[in-house]
Amino acid sequence: MELKDIRRIKKLSRQDVSDILDIPKRTIEDWEAGKRKAPDYVINLISEKLLNMTEEDIEEEKAYCVIEHKKSTGSKIIFIGDRKDCLELEDEKRNKLTQRQQLTTNYSTERYKKYLQEQDYFKELSKYSAELSTSEKKKTISDAGKTYLKYIWDFQKKYYNK
């Protein structure tokens, strides 16, 4: 089945597919126009993912949020919507900042689902690290010539293998 057919079945625009799969819209356009050919395994993976998504899954994947980052209060969601609306609001908010405000405030647009997952990750990491002694938090581990904090290494194995 062609990507265009799958998009039509799922009532998705090229931009929707781009947003859901993090594939540039131009690449999707080129694939559909025959200017470029995606490897068969890529089309199979895309097909499987899109065809198995419910309408609710699709809406969740298409949702973005604008995050306000303030040095004094941390980060918070100020708007949830589609990607275009979020990017416009982010630009509008950023353009209204004075030079002085720019030192302490910024805005970003992120996938809502990804933001929630990151918040969960850091909440769980905080709980995990609170149970450790200072010396346990300082231990390191080396892998492939890189050094990591052992407790973060251990936490990631635990967190991602739930």
Q: How confident is the model at residue 90 (pLDDT cuts 50, 70, 90)?
A: very high
For residue 39, the tally of other CB atoms under 10 A from its CB is 8
Alpha-carbon gap, residue 54 to 19, rounded angstroms: 16
pLDDT, one tens digit per residue, over 2-31 is 899 999 999 999 999 998 998 999 999 999
Asked if 129 and 137 touch (Cβ cutoff 8 Å), the reply is yes
* 66-84 average pLDDT score: 95
Alpha-carbon gap, residue 11 to 33, rounded angstroms: 18
Alpha-carbon gap, residue 23 to 13, rounded angstroms: 13
Lookup: tokens for 48: 């499987």
69 — phi, psi (to 5°)? -110, 115
Q: Where in the chain is the domain with CATH 1.10.260?
A: 3-61
Asked if 57 and 46 touch (Cβ cutoff 8 Å), the reply is no
Asked if 106 and 69 touch (Cβ cutoff 8 Å), the reply is yes
| pLDDT at residue 162 greater than cutoff 80 | no
pLDDT at site 50: 96
The DSSP-derived string for 116-136 is HHHHHHHHHHHHHHHTS-HHH
Alpha-carbon gap, residue 45 to 47, rounded angstroms: 5
Does 3-61 carry CATH code 3.40.50?
Answer: no
Lookup: tokens for 126: 């905080």
pLDDT, one tens digit per residue, over 106-125 is 999 999 999 999 999 999 99
Give the DSSP letter of residue 144: T
